[in-house]
Structure 1
Amino acid sequence: MLMNPRVLVIIPAFNEASNIESTVRAVVDAGYDYIVINDGSKDSTLDICRLNGINVLDLSQNLGIGGAVQAGHKYARHYGYDIDVQVDGDGQHDPKFIPLLVDEIVNGADLAIGSRFLSSTDGFKSTYLRRVGIKWLSFWLQLFTGRSIKDPTSGFRASGCRAIKLFCENYPDDYPEPESIATSLKAGLTVSEVPVRMRERQGGVSSIGGFSSVYYMIKVSLAISIACLTKRS
């Protein structure tokens, strides 16, 4: 059991100029170290970070959410953090729930996922079509791993040292959350969920919509099956 763990909040950001300052402020007010990973944004995200003295790691080109989050895991490992917590830059994740995720890691989990579907509160639970997709991915994960994960697409999650090490070495590039759960379970890590309340995106536009949502479902379903069926070296 970790005593007084060092916790880093990773904030991946791509074109989040309208949200990034308020997101960082909420994390700072909650008392956590943080790093913004600017994933080659085309808007003024980087300028806003620099103007406001925000701690930012600027990627020279867009790596996608997987590459940005992996950069955050590598930052956490390099600087000796015991736990890192992913908080998306769009304002959906409320930092007041970070202690619940951290406590789950302290109490033995390797990966703790913030689930909007374990809570009875009236927080934002995504659109109808996305909820259908989430239920499908939950079923697909259970089919291949035997574990029931209610909110496999949640980007609000905490990683302990073993998960950080795994993700530094192997993290999906594209739509990584469900696949990384499968990878973690296959590696023998302990994955659990805690109830959280999420908000609607505070500004900007989601990257998943229209045709990309169809691609998302096909790609992630195949990735989960491949991750579970491929032998580890």
Structure 2
Amino acid sequence: MADMSLGPGLGSSDTCRSAARQAGAPRVLLVIPCFNEEASIGGLLNEIAAIGRGYHTLVVDDGSSDATCTVASCRSPVARLAQNLGIGGAVQTGIKYAARQDFDFCIQIDGDGQHDPRAIEKLLDAYRSHPTNITIGSRFIDHSGFCSTPMRRAGIRLIVLALNGLFTGGRITDPTSGMRLLDRSAIAFFARSYPADFPEPISLAWAMRAGLTVSEVPVEMRARKAGVSSIDGIKSASYMIRVLGYILLARLVRAP
């Protein structure tokens, strides 16, 4: 793990946590992994603040070369990684922090603005009515909003068939969604081990193999506001082929 510098406000006190427990309100941490998202992260954090739900946020700046950290630190605590670890390392940094600070829920939301923060409450409501260890915000239940490119949707369908065919624990429609809620059991599980490559679908394979339960709730996602996806064109096809191999391996070999 690379060195990381923590922005202001990360030292939540035991007194504050105890007060929240007594009040009966669950403590929710939004983990926001970012790599060169200076154009979108400020607006996203403003949206989260405008909701007024009192969510805690942690932006994980994954070795950005732009002003992501500067923009984010004006609005949120920031964990700044000394080097780029990739999405898996960035997300696990946030999960480890959630475990260490005793949060009830850890919710991943991407820093590119594709996830509408108003949908966070839908994940929490779904957990309250039907608790599962992982709750995914799925684009493909209602098929509303931005649903990715045709090539990527075709690849996602193959991943869905592999996960649902090889593992039990939930029926999944959107395994590559970066919007997901983890409860305490999932936080503890992923704080110990989290995949570095293709973390969204592979983490689900690991979790279901270990007996964790998964559910989904429909959400509407938005097109990327700025920047460029790292998985396009031929990279998308390569991504899907490699993910399918990792899923099969996860079925045959116990996760670390």
Settle same-fold status: TM greater than 0.5.
Answer: yes
Distance 1:200 1:159, change over 3 A: same
In the alignment, is the contact (CA less than 8 A) between 1:139 and 1:148 conserved in 2?
A: no
Q: Does 1:165 align with 2:156?
A: no
Where do residues 140-179 of structure 1 align in structure 2 (5 Å cutoff)? 140-146=162-168, 147-179=170-202
Cα distance in 1, alignment partners of residues 234 and 155 from structure 2? 14
- Alignment of 1:136 with 2:158, yes or no, is yes
Mean CA deviation greater in 196-205 or 22-31: 22-31
- How many residues are paired up? 230
The 5 A counterparts of 1:55-70 are 55-70=77-92
Matching of residue 54 in structure 1 with residue 48 in structure 2: no
d(CA) in 2 for partners of 1:173, 1:214: 19
Match of 2:49?
28
SS of equivalent to 2:107: strand
Which of 85, 96, 118 aligns to 2:141? It is 118
Q: What displacement does 1:15 show?
A: 0.6
The one-letter amino acid of 2:26's match is P
Distance in structure 2 (CA, Å) of the matches to 1:39 and 1:232: 24
Paired letter, 1:20: I
- Segments of 5+ residues of structure 2 without an aligned counterpart are 1-20
Shift of 1:53: 4.3
- TM-score, normalization: structure 2? 0.85
Aligned match for 1:91, one of 94, 113, 132 = 113
Identity of aligned residues (%): 46
Q: Distance in 2 between matches of 1:140 and 1:178?
A: 10
- TM-score, normalised to structure 1, is 0.93
State the shift of 1:103 in Å: 2.5
- 1:185-212 deviations in Å (ceiling 9; x for gaps): 1111110000101000011111112342
**Partners in 2 of 1:118 and 1:212 — Cα distance?**
26
Distance 1:100 1:189 in 2: 20
CA distance in 2, matches of 1:44, 1:82: 31
Cross-structure match for 1:104: 126
Cα RMSD of the aligned pairs, angstroms, is: 1.7
> Which of these two proteins has the greater Rg computed from alpha carbons?
2
- Is the 8 Å Cα contact of residues 145 and 182 (structure 1) preserved in structure 2? yes
User: Displaced runs of 4+ in structure 1, greater than 3 A?
Assistant: none
